[in-house]
Structure 1
Amino acid sequence: MALIPPVTRLTSSIIRILGCNPSPMTLQGTNTYLLGTGKKRILIDTGDVDVPEYIAHLDGVLKLEQASLSTIILTHWHQDHVGGVKDVLKVCATGDCQVYKFPRTDTIDLCPEIPAEIKVQPLQDKQELSIDGAKVKIVHTPGHTTDHIVLTTDDGILFSGDCILGEGTAVFEELYDYMQSLHKILEIKPTIIYPAHGNIIEQPLDKIQHYIKHRMQREAQILDFFNRNANKALQAMDVVRDVYKETPEQLWSAAAYNVVHHIEKLVREGKLYAKTINDVTYYVSQQNNAL
């Protein structure tokens, strides 16, 4: 995995600022992107809560560019993307900076993770936002979360948020929606992807097709596991221990999260059978449902 510097100029109008919040789930940290060439700039995502090192890097870039933030676009509600918004607004933005995010469908609040005193404007699918030197189009891509978006440009750049990562594969809340979003991005045919975690994706179509193929392979492996263990009371972690043997154990909980959503999809499709015993739900293959 190539090391990502704290600050990288990617193009004449795009600067990547690393969120300085490394972890097993965020990789080297959350990539945020500063867009534009003029006095006012767009920032995509704001990193995690209370990371002064990130704020210092962002503030330093803006001072060097003799610019300030007029627009913040949040790809989705997860803390490592919205957590820094309060400090960013306090240190790096002008008074009229607008914060945008697509609405969630799993809560009545637009984004309860953001302090109530910060006004968040709702984004719409296919909405366009522009400043000097940059224009982006919003594409709603649910699955990772209900509010997840990616951003595209006229010259083929795609900011993928957590839908597609620079290394590894993404987690998701709803697999059916996530697969639909991957196909939607494939139809866009981006020429390069700037992800929220990991390095730049230089061969985006290959990466997207790999993601789709990988999920289908995982589904086949999970179904095969249930068929090999007929009439046993099985749960997601049982699948992980068998199917994810090559995955570091510290990531098994994330793998189990994905497996649960694969299982839910298979149950809806009638390929697995679910039964609750003493408030615990177990699953077996539909062809071996004598549980």
Structure 2
Amino acid sequence: MSTIIPRIERLSSRVIRILGCNPSPMTLQGTNTYLVGTGKKRILVDTGDSEIPEYIANLKSVLKENDVQIEGIILTHYHHDHVGGIANIESNILGPSYRVPLYKYKRSAKDWDTERPPNSNSKYTFVNDNQTISTEGATLKAVYTPGHTDDHIALHLLEDSALFSGDCVLGEGTAVFEDLYEYMNSLKILLSLKPDKIYPGHGPVIDNPVHGITYYINHRNERESQIIDALGNSGRPMTALDIVKKIYQIPEHLYPPAAVNVNNHLSKLKREGRATSSDDEHWQLAGKSAL
């Protein structure tokens, strides 16, 4: 049974978690947001989804109870369940005439909407890899960790050797990703930091991070071996969905995100010259003749 995550919980002298109250199969019990620091002004990590009145009410109560204000917001990546709450926070907590920096890593895509969050007049303040953002009692070092998305960052809380992992590492289950090759490299970067604790974007706190990250790396390597075996034992080219049905034991409604992960494995194998596809839909091992 999953650990029940309270709506509000103090996790350390520097960290309070406020649950985004947006549960779903992809967000688990909801998006974890974190108020970080020890002073009258603090940093908020991620903002949950849009139009979640319960989250705004809970965030308000934390600010009031601790007599603190938000002096900046750091977004781990562009997904709506992490940036969607910005406009509501601006309207209902900060006020229409008050703005704070919105720190985020810049996407590699050149889409028109990458400069500002949805439904907000504010612009992002783009950060660099290894840049530090400080507030009283807390120093957060941005660690560029692409793979889940092209703009994903984790945040190393230097005072506690703790890590806000965003969606790179979750508190339970495994993460989805856009680019497996980059994602595996990012896991190795996080492992090299040897954090004492991980505060994930979804799920409970991870108290044994080295074991957790190592599990993620091993899991992806095992999944890759299963995909290679499925392709090798098939008498015909296979689609990602074919492979999902062969190697996953999950409810059918989770097939689509699993297929996304399989496709990323296949793209990595193609990049490494170990799998081929004429249409990026039907796959076989490199050197194996289609029947």
Normalising by structure 1, we get a TM-score of 0.95
Correspondence for 2:20 = 19
2-side partners of 1:25 and 1:148: how far apart? 17
Cα RMSD (Å) of the superposition?
A: 1.4
Correspondence for 1:53 = 54
**Cα displacement (A) at 1:273:** 1.7
Match runs of 1:195-214 below 5 Å = 195-214=200-219
Correspondence for 1:123 = 127
Describe the superposition over 1:105-151 as per-residue Cα deviations: whole angstroms up to 9, x where unpaired: 12344356523511210011111111112111100000000000000
Correspondence for 1:290 = 290
| Partner-residue secondary structure (3-state), 1:176 | helix
Correspondence for 2:77 = 76
Correspondence for 1:170 = 175
**Cα displacement (A) at 1:251:** 1.0
Correspondence for 2:146 = 142
Correspondence for 2:109 = 106
1-side partners of 2:115 and 2:78: how far apart? 6
Runs of 4+ in structure 1 off by over 6 angstroms are none
2-side partners of 1:33 and 1:64: how far apart? 15
| Partner-residue secondary structure (3-state), 1:97 | coil
Q: Contact 2:237 / 2:290 at 8 angstroms: preserved in 1?
A: no
The 1:57–1:175 alpha-carbon spacing in structure 2 relative to 1, beyond 3 Å, is same
The 1:77–1:281 alpha-carbon spacing in structure 2 relative to 1, beyond 3 Å, is same
Greater share of strand = 1
Structure 2: tracts of 5 or more residues without a match: none
Identity %: 48
Match runs of 1:199-238 below 5 Å = 199-230=204-235, 232-238=236-242
Structure 1: tracts of 5 or more residues without a match: none
Query: Quick check: 1:151 aligned with 2:155?
Result: yes
The 1:19–1:111 alpha-carbon spacing in structure 2 relative to 1, beyond 3 Å, is farther
Normalising by structure 2, we get a TM-score of 0.95
2-side partners of 1:177 and 1:220: how far apart? 18
Q: Contact 1:100 / 1:120 at 8 angstroms: preserved in 2?
A: yes
2-side partners of 1:136 and 1:281: how far apart? 41
Query: Quick check: 1:34 aligned with 2:38?
Result: no
Q: Contact 2:116 / 2:122 at 8 angstroms: preserved in 1?
A: no
